[in-house]
């Protein structure tokens, strides 16, 4: 450990999976394969939406943004985790830790707001179909998208600044495989209870406010769907929301378990297990869910593959 004369560490050591030395090779292989599948799935969705003209609608443009954001989200944590599994060194500079936390929280908060925006998009499409093209016109979508990421990274800047405003002196061992809020905050020299509570309530505001707005959107959507006379019409309306609902439940479920607990960070092993799910597994599920549960994406994928195959044959 590199220390200054004030005993302040100049770098952290990410404990990660050092307590599982016999499984490092297996974990590296498993996480690498899942990461490659995640990247492939998100790139495929982005490419299909860009190539297929029928998917040039606000709903699918937001999906492309979500896939791009998920790709960046995984880039923040997984490559570093893979390097630490492969090599002996598990050190990360304090500046690197701060940057990792900022982008991780920024993209995480932006996901909450983006899923809320996607819920609002479905609300307008189903409840006000005749006004949809006007309400969700390209300039409005662009402004809403910019607002989503500005808000997400503003929250991340506040939380990261609060955590790194005090020196660290307790230890340089971060009980995690990346720089998350609770394990880094525990290393602060100063009393961190007040900061922990402030960050906890800010997390509640982001997660619960976003989730409640999504629930409100779907309350109006369900009320509109039950008024559709034909069963086929009701099924079509609901099918456009099924994939979004699935992703919302997974994303907000994980966020609630790990962040909406006053004793977050009290059980490092449990937190690492949940973190693996929302940093590795959840990003893998999103492209799978949107591909399997969305008919238009499946049709566009088959059409694109047929075009590529036909082009090779000629």
Cα-Cα-Cα-Cα dihedral of 279, 284, 286, 290, to 10°?
Answer: 170
The residue among 258 and 32 whose pLDDT is bigger is 32
Position 138 scores a pLDDT of 93
**What is each CA distance from 294 to 185, 239, 288, in whole angstroms?**
41, 7, 10
- pLDDT, tens only, 220-279: 999 999 888 888 888 888 887 888 888 898 888 877 776 666 555 556 677 777 788 888
Q: Which residue has the higher pLDDT, 88 or 7?
A: 88
Cβ distance 169 to 91 under 8 Å? no
Q: Which residue has the higher pLDDT, 41 or 171?
A: 41
Q: Stretch 57-78: mean pLDDT, rounded?
A: 92
CA dist., res. 48 & res. 70, Å (int):
16
SS3 content of the chain, % helix, strand, coil (to 5): 75, 5, 20
- In this prediction, what percent of the chain has a pLDDT beyond 90? 38
Does the structure show a pLDDT above 90 at 194? no
Report the chain's mean pLDDT, rounded to a whole number: 85
The pLDDT assigned to 111 comes to 93
For the domain made up of 11-302, give the CATH fold: Rhopdopsin 7-helix transmembrane proteins (1.20.1070)
Tell whether the model's pLDDT for residue 5 goes beyond 50.
no
d(CA 131, CA 124): 8
Least reliable range by pLDDT among 170-174, 260-264, 295-299? 260-264
Quote the pLDDT of residue 299: 81
Q: According to the model, what pLDDT value does residue 216 have?
A: 96
Q: What is the pLDDT of residues 129-169, one digit of tens each?
A: 999 999 999 999 999 999 999 999 999 999 999 998 888 87
Mean pLDDT of 274-303: 80
Q: Is the pLDDT of residue 74 over 90?
A: yes
pLDDT of residue 267: 67
**Rounded to whole angstroms, how far apart are CA atoms 106 and 190?**
25
Predicted confidence at residue 134, as pLDDT, reads: 93
pLDDT given at position 311? 61
**How high is the pLDDT of residue 85?**
85
Give 106's pLDDT tier (boundaries 50, 70, 90).
very high
Distances (CA, A) of 246 to 60, 135, 205, 282: 16, 25, 22, 11
pLDDT at residue 39 greater than cutoff 90: yes
* pLDDT at residue 292, rounded to an integer: 65
Domain coordinates of the chain in residue numbers? 11-302
């Amino acid at each position: 450990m590199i220390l200054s004369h004030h005993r302040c560490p100049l770098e952290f050591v990410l404990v990660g999976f050092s307590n599982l030395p016999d499984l490092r090779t297996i974990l590296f292989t498993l996480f690498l394969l899942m990461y490659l599948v995640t990247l492939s799935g998100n790139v495929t969705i982005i490419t299909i939406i860009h190539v297929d003209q029928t998917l040039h609608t606000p709903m699918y443009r937001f999906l492309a943004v979500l896939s791009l954001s998920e790709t960046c989200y995984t880039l923040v944590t997984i490559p570093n985790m893979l390097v630490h599994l492969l090599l002996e060194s598990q050190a990360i500079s304090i500046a690197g830790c701060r940057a990792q936390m900022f982008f991780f929280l920024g993209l995480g908060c932006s996901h909450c707001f983006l899923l809320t925006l996607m819920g609002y998009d479905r609300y307008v499409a189903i409840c006000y179909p005749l006004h949809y093209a006007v309400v969700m016109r390209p300039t409005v979508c662009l402004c809403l998208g910019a607002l989503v990421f500005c808000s997400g990274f503003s929250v991340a800047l506040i939380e990261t600044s609060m955590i790194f405003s005090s020196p660290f002196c307790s230890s340089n061992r971060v009980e995690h495989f990346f720089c998350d809020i609770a394990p880094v905050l525990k290393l602060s020299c100063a009393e961190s209870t007040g900061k922990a509570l402030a960050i906890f309530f800010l997390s509640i505001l982001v997660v619960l406010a976003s989730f409640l707005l999504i629930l409100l959107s779907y309350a109006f959507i369900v009320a509109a769907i039950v008024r559709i006379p034909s069963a086929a019409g009701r099924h079509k309306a609901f099918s456009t929301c099924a994939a979004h609902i699935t992703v919302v439940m997974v994303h907000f479920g994980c966020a609630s378990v790990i962040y909406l607990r006053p004793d977050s960070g009290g059980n490092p092993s449990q937190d690492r297990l949940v973190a693996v799910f929302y940093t590795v597994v959840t990003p893998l599920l999103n492209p799978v869910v949107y591909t399997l549960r969305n008919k238009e994406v499946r049709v566009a994928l088959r059409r694109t593959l047929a075009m590529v195959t036909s082009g090779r044959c000629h």
